[in-house]
Structure 1
Amino acid sequence: MCLAGVMIHKGIYHLFYQYNPKGVVWGNIVWAHSTSEDLINWISHEPAIFPSQKSDINGCWSGSATILPGDKPAILYTGIDPDKKQVQNLAFPRNLSDPYLKEWEKFPNNPLMAPNSKNGINASSFRDPSTAWQGPDKAWRVVIGSKNNDLGLAILYRSEDFITWSEAKRPLHSGKRTGMWECPDFYPVAVDNFTGLDTSTLGEKVKHVLKVSLDNYKHDYYTIGHYNYKTDKYVPDKGSIEGDKGLKYDYGKFYASKTFFDSAKNRRVLWGWINESSSVEDDVKKGWSGIQAIPRIVWLDKSGKQLMQWPVAELETLRDTKVNLENKSLDAGSFHEVTGITAAQADIDISFEITDINKAEVLHSKGKHAQKLCNEKNASGAKGGLGPFGLKVLATDDSKEFTAVSSLNNNNDKTTYGAFVNVDPVSEKISLRSLIDHSIVASFGGGGKSCITARVYPTLAVEDKAHLYVFNNGSEAVKIVSLNAWSMKDAQIN
């Protein structure tokens, strides 16, 4: 269940996603379709797009939605033809008066774009068209993810009418030694406010983001830079890093993401696919695999060097029972249990102050990933002068099982995730918001500067057996400035 396309049309949010109606593993891919009025509660519909033409007879893979003039949605998507070649196709709603746009019809002359072997593009590496944008010349642009050997590519196409497309002489951007670029996403961000921008927005106070899902690493990476619409070239800012050492949307389980401009609330919303950490055999037993992350708003940090992310405000409508804690000292080696909420399904927002920065160890991190460091330092049991401190969630009362262990099932991927957060621990509070949902822990550090989503499968800490703790493993006390935690109600999914 990974993303195919997202959009808002006449006040209704549409989520299209890759789905196998015949099983829980990859295959028989169609575009499933759900709609919502609030991004939280959803109605499922029949698949919007499924194999029916020669150009997609072997599968309807990912793509994007674009709102054309006249408020007319269009979908560009990758189809797999009889020769297993990846080509790009077009579909429109059959009935624009239907608020749910349940039926879609394909352009009869599909495909519109096919891989150019003269450019060294392999027919199996040409997929996932982005949302299109329009330049001042009124021509449409779209990028297709690809590669040439190990050179990652965002291949650019242009069209005057959204039907006849021609490949540009040069890609929008490329990256050496990055491999296949899946699900490219290219969009503008404002440099001086939180407001989201329509995908075609240009201007002096606008930067652009290019996100690619790197097939080699199974993570979503992005750079921030400038787009020259006259040359149709994107240039990352100085200091932006391409590839595995660059910025990620999420440092845990989060892939094949897509953003869209929410014109109803002037915000850019990010969706991501959370894949499993369990074995295929366990996925088959439970009858499903892969879920969508909580939608997030994204905006440019005031530094201009990274994006910020935060769960959409609508999520707060699910908050129920609340507990609060303020100005509590957490002594060295101690913990505090948070009671009064459903710890297996909760929203926790906590901030800390440190008492003595001089007790912090110097971390020699040059050239190392945060995840590697967290594994080396044994984040679940490490003890230092200042910390580790934070939340222990989905834990049993005897700590036989808790999130850093993930599960007692050794067939699961039990990676310890980690990320660096750029904060000043002396003048700023250290904040963390975590969303707990039975098998998922999604955390936002530093007000949304770094995000980690993990899949955990507790066997003991389930339902009312799950506990929530604030802990301090360090030899120096820390202060809980504030803790707000809520039980979360179920969303309505028909």
Structure 2
Amino acid sequence: MTPVDGIHPDMFRDPTTGWRGADGRWRVALGAEISGNGTALLYKSEDFVRWERADSPLHSSSASGMWECPDFFPVPIEGREGLDTSVNSGRQACVEDELDEAAVRLLHAGNDIFVPDDAADDYRMWLRYDYGKFYASKTFFDAKKKRRILWGWLNESDTESDDIAKGWAGIQIIPRKVWLDSRGRQLVQWPIEEVESLRRNEVHLHGLELATGLHEIKGVKASQADVEVDFELPSLDTADPFDPTRAMDAPKLCSQDDASVRGGIGPFGLLVLASENLEEHTAVFFRVYRDRDTAKVLMCSDQRRQAIFDHVKDYRSSLRPELDKPVYGVFLDMDVEKERKISLRTLIDHSVIENFGGKGRACITARVYPELFLDTSSHLYLFNNGSSSVMISRFQSWNIAKAHLNIKLKDLVIEN
């Protein structure tokens, strides 16, 4: 497979896993940019050796530039099991990476031309695997357990000089199982079950009324933890009205209505990787709005400097001024009036915070580097800065054990 028809070699890379079509021919897609359009080119082969480019691309859009690390795989219409990449049934998910984003489009197939569910060319409206720091993702089919597993890459938020001092840059996220939601509108993600084997020393709460203020979670190693919590909403009557003109940019809304801005319902959530005096911590929170006859749930992850409570004048995820400290946000596709509770699972691992909101309907991953960070002094809090109380119907947290290497450290050789 070589770039032809004037495609620049730098804009031609990252082939997908091969799959077999209904005609028995192999297919592979790879990322490209043609005339400024992000494109997934399609190649076909009878023997997996000699390849010909299809007349039409697998998918293309004028809404983005070069697509890196494209992925293409089937997902079943019902259930949470994965499908072999060559299964020619169900729905097809096409993933393209651009600008540190992994945009997901659900497609209908027909003669190797795939039409997205959404016709929008506005990139902000495309679904994403993760609305935080996440890139270069790929999936594979686990035939033994019949599941589709996603690996994603986390780059750094510190400086290039820090990377040089460390000798490395970028890590993999916790692997996630991927399936199609029951309404067929989006992909759902959840940490693979093997992660639960690392859980130690459970702390649990239930029936806790969380009024305005902080509630520290004791007994958990807050620098390396697995946290699951259900926030139950007794009433939606006090939700703030929603301005529809703000629907297109959830991160901006999270920035404006941040954790310091008191609302009717929210902000409420977690303060993670917190220092002793809360001078450093990262806020992960929800806010509920009323939009005519429906309710909207905003999920945010904020690392910037701001004031939340009177006794905490300001905070940030790190005191180091040179670090990237973004704010992330997404609206959860859920019927909160029917469910009456919002779930959050958070995996904390020193500099990594992975958040799964609404039972995995949306994910936000953050990379933070607290300066005051010590294993013995990192803290975890539940918080509510809204005027209405929320109930903690379920809270469970565990210390996370360190992973075991399959080789002895004395046998590990690192070459410069």
State whether TM-score is above 0.5: yes
TM-score by length of 2: 0.87
Secondary structure, counterpart of 2:330 in structure 1: coil
Q: Does 1:257 align with 2:141?
A: no
Question: Match for residue 329 of structure 2?
Answer: 418
Identity %: 47
Which letter does structure 1 place at the counterpart of 2:80? F
TM-score by length of 1: 0.73
Which letter does structure 1 place at the counterpart of 2:157? S
Secondary structure, counterpart of 1:374 in structure 2: helix
Secondary structure, counterpart of 2:380 in structure 1: strand
What aligned pairs does 1:43-442 form with structure 2 within 5 A after superposition?
113-116=1-4, 118=5, 120-203=6-89, 206-214=90-98, 217-228=99-110, 231-238=111-118, 243-331=123-211, 333-366=212-245, 367-377=247-257, 379-403=258-282, 404=303, 405-428=316-339, 429-442=341-354
Secondary structure, counterpart of 1:145 in structure 2: strand
Question: Match for residue 9 of structure 1?
Answer: none
Alpha-carbon separation, structure 1, partners of 2:100 and 2:172 = 16
Secondary structure, counterpart of 1:124 in structure 2: helix
Question: Match for residue 487 of structure 1?
Answer: 399
Alpha-carbon separation, structure 2, partners of 1:241 and 1:415 = 25
Alpha-carbon displacement from aligned partner over 1:335-384 (angstroms, at most 9, x marks no partner):
1111111010000000011122111112325353211111122x242211
Alpha-carbon separation, structure 1, partners of 2:386 and 2:169 = 38
CA shift at 1:241, angstroms?
5.7
Which letter does structure 1 place at the counterpart of 2:271? K
Question: Match for residue 467 of structure 1?
Answer: 379
Secondary structure, counterpart of 1:470 in structure 2: strand
Alpha-carbon displacement from aligned partner over 1:300-344 (angstroms, at most 9, x marks no partner):
00111100000000000000010000011011x221111111010
Question: Match for residue 87 of structure 1?
Answer: none
CA shift at 1:211, angstroms?
0.2
CA shift at 1:124, angstroms?
1.4
Which letter does structure 1 place at the counterpart of 2:329? G
Alpha-carbon displacement from aligned partner over 1:277-301 (angstroms, at most 9, x marks no partner):
1111122223321000000000000
Change (3 A) 1:459 1:435: same
Alpha-carbon separation, structure 2, partners of 1:470 and 1:240 = 38
Alpha-carbon displacement from aligned partner over 1:444-468 (angstroms, at most 9, x marks no partner):
0000000000001011133111000
Which letter does structure 1 place at the counterpart of 2:106? I
Contact 2:63–2:121 at 8 Å: present in 1 too? no
CA shift at 1:476, angstroms?
1.1
Greater RCO (Cα-Cα under 8 Å, separation 6 or more)? 2
Question: Match for residue 455 of structure 1?
Answer: 367
Which letter does structure 2 place at the counterpart of 1:364? D
Structure 1: tracts of 5 or more residues without a match: 1-112
RMSD: 1.3
Contact 1:218–1:255 at 8 Å: present in 2 too? yes
CA shift at 1:208, angstroms?
0.4
Which letter does structure 1 place at the counterpart of 2:362? S
Contact 1:394–1:462 at 8 Å: present in 2 too? no
